[in-house]
Chain A
Amino acid sequence: SQKIEQNSEALNIQEGKTATLTCNYTNYSPAYLQWYRQDPGRGPVFLLLIRENEKEKRKERLKVTFDTTLKQSLFHITASQPADSATYLCALGETGGFKTIFGAGTRLFVKA
């Protein structure tokens, strides 16, 4: 069966460190992968999109990698700040597909 797995345990890190979140998938052939941020009681906010033919993408302090062989994406936040504390969702879109499938998200806490 198709699965998107994100670490269900919260990630706690110290301010200034790099946070790394993982998204693994099985039985998918994604054409692209997206990362969203969701704060409590709010809708998700789009952060980055990476396509299947791209290895890495960066945006300010954010970096996403996409390994279609390992079926994994890593999401990095460098120089993390308490304001980065939120739940981060990965989402997959398949080739020729129409829907985007979301993972359950990983909660990140950045301590000052």
Chain B
Amino acid sequence: GAVVSQHPSWVICKSGTSVKIECRSLDFQATTMFWYRQFPKQSLMLMATSNEGSKATYEQGVEKDKFLINHASLTLSTLTVTSAHPEDSSFYICSARGPFKETQYFGPGTRLLVL
């Protein structure tokens, strides 16, 4: 149990376009989802916390107009990278609170390359 999926697993786009990444909890209801960014050989950097039905809470330094988060249901959250630029190229990972509040279950990640 406690499976989280992400789609797409990788995406290549041109600079200036927008990219949407979906995060789904497949077998449990996730009241909270988290979005992380990870650069090679570095730690997970929390970007924002998403609660179902309410606005996301962004970490300091993360542009909310650049990274739009929507948590429309208890099983789906989306991250949209708007007007993507090469510096947005990274590995984006979502996670969801599982049946036990402390444990986060992670998706497999989405690798974004902006040309």
Contacts and interface: CB of A to CB of B under 8 A. Distances in A.
A41 B91 contact: yes
A44 interface: yes
A43 B93 contact: yes
A43 B103 contact: no
A100 B100 CA distance: 13
Interface string A72-105: 0000000000000000010001000011101111
Q: Determine the interface band of chain A, counting residues with CB < 8 A from chain B.
A: 20 to 34
Interface of A: 31-32, 34, 36, 41-46, 49, 89, 93, 98-100, 102-105
Q: Which among A32, A43, A104 has the greatest number of chain B C-beta atoms within 10 A?
A: A43
Interface residues of B, number: 23
Contacts of B105: 46
B102 A43 contact: no
Contacts of B54: none
Contacts, number: 47
Given A104-B43, A105-B43, A41 B102 contact: no
Nearest to B93: A43
17 contacts: A34-B102, A41-B91, A41-B111, A42-B108, A42-B109, A43-B6, A43-B94, A43-B95, A43-B107, A45-B106, A46-B98, A46-B105, A46-B106, A93-B102, A102-B43, A103-B43, A104-B42
Q: Which 7 A-B pairs have the closest CB atoms?
A: A43-B106, A104-B43, A102-B44, A43-B109, A43-B93, A44-B106, A43-B108
B104 A46 contact: yes
A107 to B, nearest CB: 8
A99 B103 contact: no
Interface in B64-86: none
Contacts of B103: 34, 46, 49
Contacts of B44: 44, 89, 102
B50 interface: no
